[in-house]
A and B are shown apart, each in its own frame.
Chain A
Amino acid sequence: VRRAGALLSALIVLAALCAPAAALAQAPRASLPDIERQVMCTVCGVPLDLADSPEAQREKALIAGLIARGEDATQIKRVLVAQYGTAVLALPPSHGVNLAVYIVPAAVVAAVAAALAVALPRWRRGGGSRALAPTAPALSAQDAARLDEDLQRFE
C-alpha cells in the first residue's frame, strides 16, 4: 500500500511538472502567413496575404513586430482591432449586424433542408413515382404461365 501511495505521489508530481509544458505546447504559435490570412488590408479590402499596398506593408510590419515580441494570434488581432477597427478582421465579430454572417448561411441551409423535406415525399408520391414506373408491356397469359413454370422449376 505504501509503495502504491509513493507511486501515486510521484505520478502527481510528474503530471504537475508536465502541465505547463503541455499548455505551452498547445498555445497557438503565431506566424505571419497565418495572421495575414485572418486579417484584411483595410485600405485594399482584400486579405492581407494578397495585398502589397503601402498600408498593407505597414500592417505586416506591425504584425511582424508583435510576433517578435512573442504575442499569440489572439493578442495580435486585439492590437490590430485597436489600431484599425473591426474591419481589419477577415471574419467579423459575432455580435450585432455581423451576426448575420453566421446566421444567414445556417438559415439558408435549414430552409433548403426544410423545402426538400416537404418537396421530396410529395415528389415521390406524385410525378416522381409515375416517372419511375415500369413502362414495359404486361405479359400475355401464355408468357405468364411459362414464367410461372420456369420459376417453379428453380424452386
Chain B
Amino acid sequence: MVRRKVVPGVSLLLAVAVIGLLAYGLSAHSASRTLDEDIHNGLHPLAPARMLPVLDGSGNSSLAAYLGRVVLLNFWASWCAPCQAEAPLLERAQHVLAAHSGTVLGVTYQDATPDSRSFARQFGLTYPQLRDVGGHLAQAYGTIALPESFLVDRSGHLRAISRGEVSTAFLANAEALAASP
C-alpha cells in the first residue's frame, strides 16, 4: 500500500525537478528584453552595474563609479565587424561627452584580453574599458549580439538603448543629455 503511493510520488517529484532544471537553464541563457520594454513604455529603469576588471589590468571598476555623469555604455568585441565600424564614432563622441563630464564606457565581452587591448590601441580609444568575463553584465542588459549601447543618465537610470551599430541620432541624443544641466 505504502509502495503504491511512494513510487508515483517519487516519479512525480523527479519529473518536476527535471522540468524545473530545464526551465532554469532556459531562463538563465535567454536574453531578457525587460529593459527594452521599460524604455518603450517611457520608464527609466536603474542601469545594472557590476564590479568588473579594467581592461588595462589596473584593478576593478563599475558603472556605479560614474554616478553623477552621463555614460554611454558600449558592449563590444575585437572580432565584431560593426564594432570596428563604430569605434571611431564612439571615440569622437567621447571627446564631446568628456567636455560635459560625461564618458563612453566600453565593456569587452566574449573577447580575449590581448585582442581587446590591441583593438583599443588600433582605434586609439581613450575612454575607459572594462572586461565582462563570463558575460554576466551583458546578460543583465539582455545583450545577445554585438555591438550594443546603453545611454545612462546622471542618476544611473537608463535613457535609451541601441542594439546594433550606434546611429548618429543615438550619439546626438547622448551628447544632448550630457550637455543638458
Contacts and interface: CB of A to CB of B under 8 A. Distances in A.
A64 interface: no
A56 B7 CA distance: 47
B7 A54 contact: no
B79 A58 contact: yes
B149 to A, nearest CB: 18
B79 A55 contact: yes
Contacts of A114: 10
A58 B24 contact: no
B134 A86 contact: yes
A85 B134 contact: yes
Nearest to B21: A100
Interface string A23-60: 00000000000000000001100000000011101110
B83 to A, nearest CB: 11
Given A55-B110, A58-B115, A118-B3, A85 B81 contact: no
B80 A59 contact: no
A54 B110 CA distance: 11
A108 B21 CA distance: 13
Interface of A is mostly: helix
Nearest to A110: B14
Nearest to B146: A43
B110 A43 contact: yes
A97 interface: yes
B48 interface: no
Given A59-B112, A84-B110, A54 B134 contact: no
A55 B146 CA distance: 11
A62 B112 contact: yes
A65 B7 CA distance: 55
A84 B111 CA distance: 7
Contacts of B113: 83
A128 B15 CA distance: 27
A108 B10 CA distance: 11
A118 B3 CA distance: 9
Interface string B4-18: 000100110010011
Interface in B84-136: 110-115, 133-136
Contacts of B21: 100, 104
A57 B3 contact: no
A87 B21 CA distance: 17
Contact of A42 (B7, B81, B110): B110
B79 A83 contact: no
Contacts of A86: 134
A111 interface: yes
Contacts of A107: 14
Interface of B: 3, 7, 10-11, 14, 17-18, 21, 24, 77-81, 110-115, 133-136
10 contacts: A43-B110, A53-B79, A55-B111, A62-B112, A83-B111, A83-B113, A83-B133, A84-B112, A97-B24, A111-B10
